[in-house]
Every structure is written in C-alpha cells, then in structure tokens.
Structure 1
Amino acid sequence: MKAHFLIFIVLLFGCSSGNNSSNNSNSPVDYSEETTSEDDSNTTPEYKLLFLGDSYTVGQSVCGTCNFPAQLISRLENSEISGDYNKEVIAQTGWTTTNLLGAISAQNPSNDYDLVTLLIGVNNQYQHKPFSIYEEEFPELLDLAKGFAGGDPNRVIVISIPDYAYTPYGENNPDFELISQQIDQYNDFAQSIAETNNVNFLYITDITRLGLENPSLVASDGLHPSGEAYSQFVDRLMPLAIEKIP
C-alpha cells in the first residue's frame, strides 16, 4: 500500500512539473519594450527653423543655397545634431519692420520652432522712416519671435544689420558716413532690447564693413552681401545654433 502511494506521488509531481515546463516554453514573450527602444534609436530627429527678416535673410542677388538660412541648415545637417531640418522664411527684399509685422500677421506661424532668427531694420533706415517706428515695432517683433519659439528666449537669435555703406553702391552715396552712424544706432537699440529679453544678439556688421577692401564679400549687384559673406555670418551663427537647438 505504501509503495503504491509513493508511486502515485511521484507520478503526480512528475506530470505537474512537465506541464509547467510546457506552459513556460509556449508562453508569449513581450518584446514591446525592446522593439520600442530600437525603433526610437532609428528615428531621425526633426527640427523646425524660422527666419524673419528682409533682403539680408532672403539673400538678394545670391543663389538659393547661398543665403545664410540655407547655409546654416546645410551645416547643421552635417553636424553632431544631424536630422531633418524644415526651414520657413518670412522675409522679402525691401521690407521694413512694419512690412514684417504685417506678413507675420497674415501667415500666423506656429509656436513650436526649435530656432528663430530675426534680422530687420535696414529698410527703415534706407527709406528714412522715423527711428521711433523701429523703437516701437522691433520689440513687438522680438516678442513674436519668442512666441514662435515656444516662449523660450534661448531659442531666438537677433542678428545685427549689415552696413551697406561699405559696398560700391554705398561708397558713392553722399551720406556714406551717416549711413554707418544710423546703422549703429539701429543695432545698438536692437542689442539692448535683445539683452533685456535674454535673447542672444549676434554681431556680423563688422564683416560687411570689409566689403570695399574685400570685394568678394559683396554680391554682384554691388549692394548686398555675397555668398562668401553669408558663409562668414554662419561661422559665427553655427555655434549658437548648436547650443540652442534641443
């Protein structure tokens, strides 16, 4: 009787162990976490950049890939933060701060840009607009730029106005010295407003003031920066962009 009972116990536990082994081998394995991690690592990051301005942003009289927005994106794509860069430009030759405000109102950009640049004011000076207009409208534009960057001033860069006095066109202007003085006035104001708002101010005006001694910095129209000048702008802009793009 005892022998039969022991045999029964052995058979019972043996079957139970076998069944557990079979169940374990056929149980589905959850690879979702591992797959998700692999998919994430293979996803190409996407970035949105917005460029606000006038002819100096459009790149008047240079090729489509020679202006500073295009050159900046090309360098970023080949940098340590490579990815898909989507560029939007709200700029046109001849625009003043008033024109740019109107265009922004019409286009209504989103508020999720990774980087926003603002370069505006030369046409206020060129068209002899009262400086008070710039004093009123530039801060408005900067507030909008911050909003397009999700309210983060660290993702906005104000770029100084080039000095067209140091071009063949400007050299022959009887107001040669006055042009430079007024460009300085505009830039000083823009810098003070940028710093008050904790926004970086990038000074590139000195590059354009080499235009007469280095003609390669002037476009074929004798007035605007060349592709080489824009390349030098980007030399200074690139470190800031890398620092700011999340």
Structure 2
Amino acid sequence: MTPKPGASADANYLALGDSYTIGESVPEADRWSVLLAGLLRKDGLTITDPDIIARTGWTTSELSDAIKQSGNQKTYQLVSLLIGVNNQYRGQDVERYRTEFRALLQTATRFAGGKPGRVFVLSIPDWGVTPYAAGSGRDRPQIAKEIDAFNAVALDECKKAGIVYVDITPTSRTAAGDPSQIAEDGLHFSGKQYRQWAEKALPVVKKLL
C-alpha cells in the first residue's frame, strides 16, 4: 500500500503483522490500522493510511523475512507491530518468540528513524474465542493460557525497549458468543472488533505523534 497522492506532508504510518493487521476476511476499510488512522484524522492529526507489511499465517520469522524482501527503506513517523498468534498456533517455543520478537522491535524502531517512542505494539488477540477454535477440537483454555504466555514475553520486551504496549487481548475475548464480532470465516475478527482495538490504541498513539 502507498500513501494517497498529495499526502506527503502528512505523518506516515507503517503497520507490521499478520492476518490481524492485513484484516483477513474484512474489507480494507475495516482493518484496525486503517480505522486507527481515520480516528487520528478525526481528532485533527494529519496521518496517511498505513503502508502494510503483513500476511495471513505469518510468524515472527516470516514477517522478518518479508520485511527484508520488501526492500522498504522509508522512515515513518508511526510504526505498529502485532505478531505472534501463528507462533502460538504452530506450537513454537515462547523463548524463540522472544528472540525473534526482540529483533522485530529493533526493526520497527529503525523504520521509525531510531525512535522507539514512535513505535507501538498491540498484544496478540485470543483466537480461542472463535467458532473455528470451538469446532476444531482445540483446548480453548489452553489456547488462552498460551496466548497470555506469549503476550507476557511481548510486554517484557517492549518495556526493555521503551516501546508502548497496548493490551487488546481482553477486548478480543469479548467476542466470545457474539457473531457480530467475528468475520465470516469463523476464525478472524470483524470490523466491529477491530474498531475496538483502534479505539483502545487511539489515546496512546496520540501521545506518540
């Protein structure tokens, strides 16, 4: 994605992640990062819709590889990172996640011109509340426990790096039993849920710009 013509004077924004950032199964306008940019503009801040490096299914290592392959050398006034659900889904070790997540924080900071104060992280949402999880035979309490363990690592690494961490996991859990908060594929979240993430991030992000 590229900023709209004529928006070069606005703050620019890079969103890094996986299916949640690309907005699997929802329209582009319902992506949480796009919604956040809209909310910021509504509050009087000039910012472009995000450039996005994200794809459904990516783990931390796959996102890192994709960033390198993108050749993106731009500097951004705002960078977000939301990654890790596929590490958990595939049963990867949480300490491997720590190492790879730490490297991604460093990468995000480089995109932000070396300023960790221009970077923010969203916690991993709990896909265990979705109909897909219920129908797959997976242990939903175990999913929640593992998600919490990955998020504890992310929070710890953010604190060490001086990067803001926005906890949207409890918000994601409110989607349990509410079809309006779930996308049509039964696995990802709807624009209604993504808007809540954007609203949660808004007051934090406003302080970064």
Q: Same fold (TM over 0.5)?
A: yes
- Equivalent position of 1:90 in the other structure: 53
- Equivalent position of 1:212 in the other structure: 176
1:61-210 counterparts in 2 under 5 A? 61-81=25-45, 83=46, 85-110=48-73, 112-172=75-135, 173-210=137-174
Shift of 1:177: 1.3
- Equivalent position of 1:46 in the other structure: 10
CA contact (8 A) 1:94 1:123 kept: yes
TM-score with structure 1 setting the length:
0.78
SS at match of 1:244: coil
Shift of 1:235: 0.7
- Map Cα deviations across residues 154-192 of structure 1 (whole Å, 9 max, x no partner): 110010001011111112333211111110000000000
CA contact (8 A) 1:48 1:113 kept: yes
In structure 1, what is the Cα distance between the partners aligned to 2:194 and 2:56? 16
For residue 229 of structure 1, what is the amino acid of its counterpart?
A: Q
- Equivalent position of 2:203 in the other structure: 239
Shift of 1:214: 2.4
1:12-51 counterparts in 2 under 5 A? 45-51=9-15
Shift of 1:210: 1.4
- Map Cα deviations across residues 30-77 of structure 1 (whole Å, 9 max, x no partner): xxxxxxxxxxxxx98411100000001001111110011111122222
Higher RCO by CA contacts (8 Å cutoff, separation 6 or greater): 2
Shift of 1:111: 5.0
- Map Cα deviations across residues 202-246 of structure 1 (whole Å, 9 max, x no partner): 00011111122322111111111110001000111111222112x
- Among all aligned residue pairs of Structure 1 and Structure 2, give the percentage whose two residues are the same amino acid: 38
In structure 1, what is the Cα distance between the partners aligned to 2:100 and 2:18? 15
SS at match of 2:48: strand
Structure 1 stretches lacking a partner, 5+ long: 1-42
In structure 2, what is the Cα distance between the partners aligned to 1:100 and 1:214? 30
For residue 146 of structure 1, what is the amino acid of its counterpart?
A: T
State the superposition RMSD in angstroms: 1.6
Shift of 1:78: 2.2
Matched positions, count? 202
CA contact (8 A) 1:46 1:86 kept: no
Structure 2 stretches lacking a partner, 5+ long: 1-6
